[in-house]
Amino acid sequence: MDDASDRLAAAETALATALQGVVGRLYGAGAQIKALQRLSGGAMQELWAFDVPTGDGVRELILRRSPGGVAKRQVPGTGMEMEARVLRLAVAAGVPAPRVEYAMTPSDGLGSAYIMERIPGETLAPRILRGPEYAQARTRLAFQLGAAAAKIHRIDVDAAGDLNRATPAESVASAYERYRALGMDRPVFEWAFRWFRDHIPSADFKPSVVHGDLRTGNIIVGPEGLRSVLDWEATHVGDPMEDLAWLCIPPWRFGELDKPAGGVGTREELFAGYEAESGQKVDPERVRFWEAFGSLRWGLATALMARDFQAGDRSVERAAIGRRTSENEIDLLAILAPEGRAHA
Amino acid sequence: MREQPTAVELLDIVAEFLRAEVLPALSGRTAFHTRVAANVLDMVRREVALGPGALVGEAERLRSLLGSDGDVADLNHELCERIAGGDVDLFDADLLDHLWKTTIDTVAIDQPKYATYRRATAGEPGDA
């Protein structure tokens, strides 16, 4: 073994030892961790699956943890502690989401992390979108996602505590600052930013807990339909229509262009699910604003990866993703200026 | 210089080699990154083949749109300033025509399989 794999093995042993301590305190001194393994999902956070056999059956669990137990950027209103807090409120509000078993404290020795139940099912978008075993699920998934979003937006904002908040105008302004900081002249981005500034949605909405990354890829699906909403790291307080719109941005359709709701259904089905659960009418123009803005946000994220790569964060994958900004630019034009294509 | 095989042919064969011979011998993370690496070579091959023509078209449109001269980087900077400063009508037909054409040419290099691109170029010469 080389040094790197030695270090990795030592870190894994330390993690297993600390986790065993926590599990003993949670489920009784005799409870033992079985089948601990690192999962490949979770680009930003560590994910570990493990089992704990107890008197009344095997508990199937997930440990979600900041890389090495240390949050990469200490941003107020984000992090594992926030996720665990919001997840508990989400489950209480009826959102299909994993039950939090335990949020780590510093004395547990695992850093910033929490344990939640492991829900079986499919997360890979191509299988959910095209697998024959999910044909039944696809007939109701868009409706169910709309209903799940409505339940998320029922979470009590005050109980959710310290979350990031932004008005639509502030979201546009801070995205523009991030764009300018990149030092890239991108006319389509400048064009879109001006459009956004001219079309800021009215402040006439109830600031709500917004999941922030609700999309195919961040949900668990079974043959019968939606089982769980995952990845609560972008949760913030904002316009609830953001969630419906983000789910519809073209990258999350994974090629199923005519099924805007996450590549599985129509906007009408999504909105019907939302309206049935919330009793609130969806304003499609508002969703369109956030959908275009979502394309821009994702484009900015890929442009940031290009800069990170050039600044020395070298990987083939990062370099390749850095070249995907133009996909979001064509989406922006297709959403906001489809008529311009008639002349091109 | 026009040495043979051409850059396009070299990039093509290396990507083919990675996919046909290297990839089957790999697994997991390395296999994934090898697939990404082959895709990157395809992107570079398309840029070598299509980039120069796209750049000429972009520069011509920018000059006519702005009525000024300079290299593409300077012209793009100027266009961004004019858009941000509100000096141009957002829905000016020539502006939209330029943004669409430039974006289409860029995606043709970066990711021609992207669904929005395929839809926008359906029925055109080179439609795959």
The pLDDT, as a whole number, for residue A307 is: 93
Q: How far apart are CA A21 and CA A214, in angstroms?
A: 34
Do A52 and A98 belong together in one domain?
yes
User: Does residue A10 lie within any of the structural domains?
Assistant: no
Coil, helix or strand at residue A115:
strand
Under DSSP, the state recorded for B125 is: T
What was the pLDDT predicted at A43? Answer: 61
Chain centroid to CA A5: 30
How many angstroms separate the CA atoms of B87 and B72, rounded? 20
Strands A225-229 and A219-222: antiparallel
- Domain closes at, from A61, A87, A117: A117
B116, B117, B118, B124, best to mutate vs chain A, most A CBs in 10 Å: B116
- Residue A312 in any domain: the answer is yes
Examine the domain organization and report whether A167 and A316 are in the same domain: yes
Q: Which two tokens stand for residue A307?
A: 């800069």
The reply to whether A139 and A220 lie within a common domain is yes
The predicted-structure confidence for B68-84, as pLDDT tens digits, reads as follows: 999 999 999 999 999 99
Q: Which residue has the tokens 């330390």?
A: A14
Instruction: Give me the half-sphere count of Cα atoms (radius 13 Å) on the Cβ side of residue A171.
Output: 23
pLDDT for A195 equals 97
Q: What is the interface pTM, i.e. ipTM, of the complex?
A: 0.94
| B117 contact residues in A (CB cutoff 8 A) | 327, 330
The whole-angstrom distance between B97's CA and the closest CA on chain A is: 5
Q: How many domains does chain A have?
A: 2
Long-range own/partner contacts, residues A59-62 (CB < 8 A, 24 or more apart)? A59/A27, A59/A101, A59/A117, A60/A117, A60/A118, A60/A120, A61/A101, A61/A115, A61/A116, A61/A117, A61/A118, A62/A98, A62/A115, A62/A116, A62/A117, A62/A118
Q: Touching check for A193 and chain B: CB below 8 Å?
A: yes
Mean predicted confidence (pLDDT) in A293-309: 95
Q: Average pLDDT for residues A152-169, to the nearest whole number?
A: 93
Q: Are residues A48 and A167 in the same domain?
A: no
Count chain A–chain B contacts defined by CB atoms under 8 A.
109
- Do A165 and A101 lie in one domain? The reply is no
Nearest by CB: B36 against A320, A330, A334: A320
**pLDDT at residue B128 tops 50:** no
What's the token pair of residue A270?
Answer: 């999504």
Q: Which of A117, A150, A182 is the last residue of a domain?
A: A117
Single out the residue in A91, A117, A143 at which a domain terminates.
A117
Together in a domain, A185 and A255: yes
Q: How far is B98 from A188, CA to CA, in rounded Å? A: 10
Residues A132 and A276 in one domain: yes
Q: Which residues of B touch A (CB under 8 A)?
A: 32-33, 36-37, 39-40, 43, 73, 76-77, 79-80, 83-84, 86, 90-91, 93, 95-104, 106-107, 110-111, 114-117, 119-120
Tell me what pLDDT residue A235 has. 95
pLDDT value for A251:
92
Shortest Cα–Cα distance, A143 to chain B (Å)? 24
- Structural domain includes residue A136: yes
Per residue in A201-238, pLDDT (tens digit) is 998 899 999 999 999 999 999 999 999 999 999 999 99
Same domain, A132 and A267: yes
Instruction: Name the residue among B91, B90, B105 with its Cα closest to residue B59.
Output: B105
A190–B86 CB contact, under 8 Å: no
- Residue A2 in any domain: the answer is no
Contact A200, A321 (CB under 8 A): no
Distance separating alpha carbons of residues A35 and A49, to the nearest angstrom: 8
- A1 has a pLDDT exceeding 70: no
pLDDT in tens, A188-199: 999 999 999 999
Q: Which of A97, A123, A103, A112 is nearest to A41 (CA)?
A: A123
In a domain, A7, yes or no: no
Q: The domain spanning residue A97 has which CATH number?
A: 3.30.200
Collect all residues of chain B within an 8 Å Cβ-Cβ radius of residue A334: 116, 119-120
Q: Return the structure tokens found at A72.
A: 């990469």
Least confident of A95-104, A128-137, A274-283, B116-125: B116-125
Residue A309 dihedral angles phi and psi, to the nearest 5° = -60, -50
Facing B100 at nearest CB: one of A194, A253, A341: A341
Residues of chain A in contact with residue B54, where contact means CB-CB under 8 angstroms, are none
Say whether pLDDT at B11 is over 50. yes
Question: How many C-beta atoms surround the C-beta of residue A5 within 10 A?
Answer: 9
- Within-domain flag for A12: no
Looking at residues B101-115, what average pLDDT do you find? 97
Residue B79 three-state SS: helix
Least CB-CB distance to B36: which of A317, A326, A341?
Answer: A317
Residue A8 lies in a domain: no
In what helix (H) or strand (E) does residue A225 lie, and over which residues does it extend?
strand A225-229
Whether residues A95 and A132 fall in one domain: no
| Token pair belonging to A256 | 């199923």
pLDDT in tens, A75-120: 666 788 899 999 999 999 999 999 999 999 888 989 899 999 999 9
Contact by Cβ (8 Å): A320, A339: no
Whether A139 and A159 map to the same domain: the answer is yes
On average, the pLDDT of chain A sits at: 92
* pLDDT at site A75: 63
Amino acid A42: pLDDT: 57
**Closest-CA residue to A118 (of A181, A47, A54):** A47
The confidence score (pLDDT) of residue B127 equals: 43
Check whether residue A130 and residue A189 sit in a common domain. Answer: yes
Task: Name the pTM for this structure.
Answer: 0.90
Q: Is residue A11 part of a domain?
A: no
CA-CA distances (angstroms) from residue A302 to A125, A259, A317?
A: 20, 24, 11
Residue A90 sits in the same domain as residue A239 = no
Q: What is the CATH number of the domain that holds A329?
A: 3.90.1200.10
- Cα–Cα distances in Å, from A82 out to A74, A85, A93, A177? 12, 5, 16, 26
Q: What pLDDT score does A100 carry?
A: 97
Separation of alpha carbons B96 and B14, rounded Å: 38
> Higher-confidence residue: B104 or A107?
B104
In whole numbers, what is the pLDDT of chain B averaged over residues?
A: 94
The predicted pLDDT at position A227 comes to 98
Query: Which pLDDT score is estimated for A7?
Result: 75
Q: Could you give the C-alpha distances from A85 to A286, A326, B89, in angstroms and in order?
A: 29, 37, 47
Question: Does residue A241 surpass a pLDDT of 70?
Answer: yes
Shortest distance between the Cα of B23 and any Cα of chain A, in A, equals 15
Expressed as residue numbers, the domain containing A94 is 29-117
Location of structure tokens 């079985």: A34
